């Protein structure tokens, strides 16, 4: 049975942990507001950018479009860009993404595809390398850091992807990230970047759309398709940053409440042990007095 000192040391230790988790919760809450505003502001822009590219691409017929639109003609080599966080202590934020990525890799390899992985964030790399170390070709960490994420951070990733595509190292590129739905919900999602997927409704309205482009569609697409890749990557990074802070705030809130419950439980056990110790001392004193 633990001694009174053991209980006291344990209570002090849990109280110190509760202070840390409470402080981390407040820090995450303060960062969350700014990250959430940036993520929610980027989503309409990224959606509008993809819609604009779809409207332009709907007028391209056959193999006349740029390579980023029509692809290489094959889908055997896949590149997955996995966007996670550099830090932990954020609940199941990274583990859910890694599980989703692992299932996606297994699905592609089962279908006979060759898969390569670029990890944007340290946590996804640390887990995926246990099973797919040979598939990870690049890891990009430290984007954003203590400062706010900028479009230049996304440009670094898109430049790497475009350079590999121009070198003929893959056929299909997909983005895997945690989509920020709400403070309580971050949903793992995948989005194909290369070749660009034209929305179905744009294809249906291609012949009747009242658009006239100058210069030609293929010239416009050659300029805006690389920018669209950067925009979509930036959107995923902002979603991931907001989701990380939301998940950390929730996890630290749960940890703080659990620490409080543990302190109450340990205090009850401490008081019972102390009462038993005092009762034992009294019995010994009374027994000794009666013996005399």
Of 39, 53, 90, 225, which residue is the catalytic one?
90
DSSP conformational letter for 195: S
Residue 27, both tokens: 């820090």
Residue 187, both tokens: 């949903």
90 is catalytic: yes
Tell me the C-alpha distance between 78 and 178, whole Å.
Answer: 20
Q: Where are the alpha helices (DSSP H) in 111-216?
A: 122-132, 151-166, 200-204
Judged by phi (left if over 0) then psi (alpha if -120 to 50, else beta), residue 214 lies in beta
- Strands 136-140, 77-83: pairing kind: unpaired
Q: Nearest CA to 141 among 97, 189, 85, 81?
A: 85
Identify the sign of the CA torsion 97, 102, 105, 110.
negative
Tell me which residues are annotated as active site: 90
């Amino acid at each position: 049975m633990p001694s009174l000192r053991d209980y006291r040391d344990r209570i002090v230790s849990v109280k110190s942990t509760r202070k840390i988790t409470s402080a981390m919760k407040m820090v995450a809450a303060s960062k969350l507001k700014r990250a959430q505003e940036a993520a929610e502001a980027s989503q309409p822009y990224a959606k509008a950018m993809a819609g604009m590219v779809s409207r332009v691409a709907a007028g391209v017929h056959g193999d006349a479009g740029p390579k980023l639109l029509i692809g290489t003609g094959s889908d055997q080599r896949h590149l997955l860009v996995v966007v996670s966080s550099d830090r932990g202590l954020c609940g199941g934020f990274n583990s859910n993404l890694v599980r989703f990525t692992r299932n996606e890799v297994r699905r592609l390899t089962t279908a006979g595809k060759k898969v390569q992985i670029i990890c944007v964030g340290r946590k996804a790399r640390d887990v995926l390398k246990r099973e797919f170390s040979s598939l990870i070709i690049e890891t990009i960490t430290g984007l954003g850091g203590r400062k706010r994420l900028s479009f230049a951070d996304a440009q670094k990733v898109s430049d790497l992807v475009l350079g590999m595509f121009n070198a003929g190292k893959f056929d299909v590129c997909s983005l895997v990230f945690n989509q920020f739905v709400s403070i309580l919900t971050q949903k793992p999602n995948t989005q194909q970047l290369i070749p660009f997927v034209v929305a179905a409704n744009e294809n249906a309205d291609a012949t009747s759309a009242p658009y006239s482009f100058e210069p030609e569609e293929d010239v416009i697409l050659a300029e805006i398709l690389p920018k669209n890749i950067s925009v979509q990557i930036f959107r995923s990074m902002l979603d991931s940053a907001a989701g990380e802070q939301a998940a950390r705030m929730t996890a630290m809130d749960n940890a703080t409440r659990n620490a409080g419950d543990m302190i109450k439980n340990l205090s009850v056990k401490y008081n019972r042990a102390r009462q038993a110790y005092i009762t034992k001392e009294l019995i010994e004193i009374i027994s000794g007095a009666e013996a005399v």
